[in-house]
Amino acid sequence: MDKVTTYSEAIRDALDEEMSIDNKIILMGEDIGLQGGVFGTSRGLYEKYGASRVMDTPISENSFVGAAIGAALTGLRPVVEIMYIDFITLAMDQIVNQAAKIKYMFGGKAKVPIVIRTQGGGGKGNASHHSQSLEVFFCHIPGLKVVMPSTPYDAKGLLKSSIRDDNAIIFIEHKLLYNITGSIPDSNYTIPLGKADIKKEGEDISVVSISYMVNKALSAAASLEDEGISPEVIDLRSLYPLDIDTIISSVKKTNHLLIVHESCSRAGTGAYILKEVLPDIFDYLDSPPVILGGLDSPIPYSYVLESAIIPSEEKIVNTIKKIMHNLIKNK
């Protein structure tokens, strides 16, 4: 039987279920204990599992990520929360030079089963130090997996799979998703990493997106249906592993591709995705593939300016119309 829950509660349920199954799982992060996390994702877990498994850390990301890597090397399975993805830059040496490389450098004899949960994205007027989308940093690093769920159902199933994985994983939750609701099964379920989900089937154009941008793409698609345009919306769910096959199959059907993401367009998420799929879709495209990403600017504090930086539903609609209009005009 399904239940309706928020994205935040789905994250908490995943943590609780996995901790009840495996006592090697520990949580680490700022204010995740008595306070239950800034976004409520660990509420009640400190009282249930105690301070030895739910650890409030000092405000020192480099230090507690390093401690978590050490814990993982000795057999524990840490889930680390970094409050905002902007602060993950303070732990880049530990993540990029240690967590990502240890398994390879020791020939698989050592492993780092660590999940680094963090919150990214803009949309709340939190300014440049609390609003960035840095996911593409980690797509560049061999040894890391990058997961970005867009729904409560996906958040729970993907987090459980991430915790059980023996690799280092960057698990990014968008700040605007925590309060959205959705149905999840009461049963214990997981979702495999690297498998995209077609959130809406369509015939005219493939719209590939990730995280909160999926919601905007779906809203845009719904409004375009009324005008006779049928977009197919693909939620990648993870950027690495990347489900190339689902994108290729969709473009073979629609013959058009739009990639929508929130990070800066320059050397951004869309460029990475397009590079991976272009050789296999080139012959099926009836129009040039288009990337709609964030503008190349720090995120402003002003909500009006921030809204101009980040792709909106209106921008998605207008971009799709332009692609389809050019097709008709060229015919």
Q: Which residues contact 256 (CB under 8 A, 6 or more apart)?
A: 204, 205, 206, 285, 286, 287, 289, 323, 324, 327
Which candidate, 212, 234, 22, 199, places its Cα nearest to that of 113? 22
At 1 the pLDDT is 67
Which candidate, 56, 61, 70, places its Cα nearest to that of 88? 61
Alpha carbons 209 and 121: distance in angstroms, whole number? 14
**Amino acid present at 226:** D
Alpha carbons 72 and 114: distance in angstroms, whole number? 6
At 243 the pLDDT is 98
Cis peptide before 241 (omega within 30 of 0): yes
pLDDT in tens, 172-221: 999 999 999 999 998 899 999 999 999 999 999 999 999 999 999 999 99
Q: Do domains 2-185 and 197-330 have the same CATH topology?
A: yes
Handedness of CA 145, 148, 153, 159 (dihedral sign): positive
Q: Where are the domains of the chain?
A: 2-185, 197-330
- Residue 22 token pair: 């495996």
> Which residues are catalytic, by number?
61, 130
pLDDT in tens, 30-54: 999 989 998 999 999 999 999 999 9
- Within 13 Å and on the Cβ side, how many CA atoms surround 235? 22
At 331 the pLDDT is 45
DSSP run (H or E) holding 220? helix 212-225
**CATH architecture of the region 197-330:** 3-Layer(aba) Sandwich (3.40)
DSSP, collapsed to helix, strand or coil, labels residue 205 as: strand
- The mean pLDDT values, 10 residues at a time, for the chain of 331 residues are 92 97 97 91 96 95 96 97 96 97 95 97 87 94 98 98 98 96 93 98 97 97 94 98 98 98 94 96 96 93 91 96 73 45
Residue 44 backbone zone (phi > 0: left; psi -120 to 50: alpha; other: beta): left
CATH number for 2-185 (one of 3.40.50.970, 3.40.30.10, 3.30.1600.10, 3.40.1280.10): it is 3.40.50.970
